[in-house]
Copies of this chain bind each other. A is one copy, B any other.
Amino acid sequence: MGKLYAEISVSLDGYVAGPDISPDNPLGEGGERLHDWVTALASWKESHGKSGGSTGPDDELMKQSIARGGAVIMGKNMFGPGQGGPSDDGSWQGWWGDDPPFHQQVFVLTHTKREPLQLSDTTFTFVNDGPESALEQARDAAGDDDVQIAGGASAIQQYLRGGQLDELFLHVAPILLGGGVRLFDNLEGADPKLEPVEVIESPAVTHLRYRVSR
C-alpha cells in the first residue's frame, strides 16, 4: 500500500487561498500568486498540453510530483464552486478544461450525486459517503502507488484529523495573503506528529516535506 500525502501551495502566513473567494475568483484575492511558481514551469506547461516554460529545481520537483501519485482525492471546492454553484449542476466539468492535468483517477469529496466524468485520461468520481470511502476507493485505484490529497484545506484537514495522513508536502510561497482559507484550521483533537524530512530551496518558493504520524 502506498502513502497518503497532501501536496499544496501555501503562503508564508498559512493561507491556501486568499480572501473574497467567488466563482469568478476561486483562489480569492491574490490567491493566484500562490501558484506563480508553478505556472511558469516547463513540466506544468507540458502537463497542460503547452510547450515552453522554465527548467531547474522547481521544474524537476514538479515532474516528480506529476509522476508520483497513483490516484488523487480532492474536496468539492477544489473541483468547483460550492453548494448551489455550478458544481451542483451536471454540466460543470472542473476548472481545468478538456484535458485536466491529473491524468489519473480523481475522487471528489462531495454531497452532490453525479455519474463519473471522464475528460481525456482523467476520470472524476464523485464520492458521497465520506473521506474514508474516498480513501478506500483511491487506494484501490492507486494499487501500490501513493494517493495524493490535492486540496483544498478542508480535505487535508479531514485526513489530518482522521490520522490517515503519512506526508505533508508544502510549497511555501514568499507572500503574505493576510486573509483567506487557512491550511491549518479546524484541527481540534488532531495532534499529528510532524518530522521534517526534506527541504528544497529555490528563489521562487520553499518546499518543505514532513513525515506525519499520530
Chain A residues engaging chain B, CB cutoff 8 angstroms: 12-14, 172, 174-176, 178, 183-184, 187-188, 190-192, 194-196, 198-199, 201-203, 205-206, 208, 210
- Across the A-B interface, the 8 shortest Cβ-Cβ residue pairs: A13-B184, A174-B194, A199-B201, A14-B14, A174-B196, A196-B206, A199-B199, A176-B184
Give Cα A192 to B199, complex, Å. Answer: 24
Give Cα A183 to B12, complex, Å. Answer: 10
A211: nearest residue on chain B (CB-CB)?
A: B174
Contact yes or no, B174 A178, CB < 8 A: no
Contact yes or no, B210 A174, CB < 8 A: yes
SS of A interface (majority): loop
Determine the chain B residues whose CB is within 8 A of the CB of A12 once the complex forms: 184, 194, 210
Give Cα A208 to B194, complex, Å. Answer: 17
Contact yes or no, A196 B201, CB < 8 A: yes
Known contacts A12-B184, A13-B184, A14-B184; A194 and B176 CB within 8 A of each other: yes
In the assembled complex, 20 residue pairs joining A and B whose CB atoms fall closer than 8 Å, in A order, are A12-B184, A12-B194, A12-B210, A174-B194, A174-B195, A174-B196, A174-B210, A175-B194, A176-B187, A176-B190, A176-B191, A176-B192, A176-B194, A178-B184, A178-B188, A195-B203, A196-B203, A196-B206, A198-B201, A206-B208
